[in-house]
Amino acid sequence: MMSAIFYGLWIFAMLVAIFELFALIYFIEYVVAVEVFHQPPFVPTTKRNQEQVVQYINKNYPNAKYICEVGSGYGRMARYIGKHTNAKVIALENMPISALISKTADLFQRKSKTIKCDAFKYLNNTNKKFDIAIAYLSPTHTTELFKLKDKFDVLISLDFEVKNEKPDEIVDNGPGYTVYNRKKYPHKMYIYKSW
């Protein structure tokens, strides 16, 4: 009886230690991303955002074969798109823990693949052209991504407009907003396809 309790407590202590280690690594990665590389903070996509992106793709681009998600984080959006569209999805993520988690989850989803890289360098150096690029970045990074528009036919930017560019379409993603640099950005999809 005592040994069962001891083993139970030991397993519980190990799980707590693993969780704390993961939380510490996540915190370090977050600080490095935001403070050192000046990247936008991690913003997980909501289930509603995922559904609306997929609905938009299936309605307007049902024949899309290759989709690129730039700054994919843990890859939830990429895997959701891969599961609910006919396209193959390449998820680009430069932070090691996020990329590792995404690559691990990719093992259970054949239509999405995570590449750990600097997305801008990858897009600059690849010969591959994507039907659609999806980004949930920041105003500055979205504008930088737009400069690589020869690498994709359509850009879907979540919550952030491309500076000095008029979107071809704006889709309201319902209530809520993203806070970035103390400014609120309503949940919207900005679609750019005319260039």
Position 139 scores a pLDDT of: 87
Residue 188 has pLDDT above 90, yes or no: yes
116-140 pLDDT tens trace: 999 999 999 999 999 999 999 888 8
Task: Name the 3-class secondary structure at 166.
Answer: coil
DSSP-assigned beta bridge partners for residue 135: 70, 157
Which pLDDT band, with edges at 50, 70 and 90, does 34 fall under? low
Position 171 scores a pLDDT of: 95
Position 1 scores a pLDDT of: 60
The chain-wide mean pLDDT, for the chain, equals 89
Helix, strand, coil percent content, the chain, rounded in steps of 5: 45, 25, 30
Calculate ∠ Cα 168-170-173, nearest 5°.
Answer: 155
Phi and psi for 36 in degrees, rounded to 5?
Answer: -90, -50
Position 6 scores a pLDDT of: 77
Which pLDDT band, with edges at 50, 70 and 90, does 168 fall under? very high
Top mean pLDDT of 24-38, 52-66, 109-123, 174-188 is at: 52-66
pTM, whole model, 2 decimals? 0.83
37-71 pLDDT tens trace: 666 666 677 888 899 999 999 999 999 999 999 99
Q: Does domain 47-192 have CATH number 3.40.50.150?
A: yes
Two tokens at 1?
A: 């009886």
Two tokens at 135?
A: 């980004």
What is the side-by-side order of every strand in the sheet holding 152-158?
112-116, 88-93, 66-70, 130-135, 152-158, 183-192, 169-180
Distant-in-sequence, close-in-space partners of 116: CB < 8 Å, separation ≥ 6: 93, 94, 96, 99, 100, 103
Residue 176 vs residue 188, higher pLDDT: 188
Q: Percent of the chain scored above 70 by pLDDT? A: 94
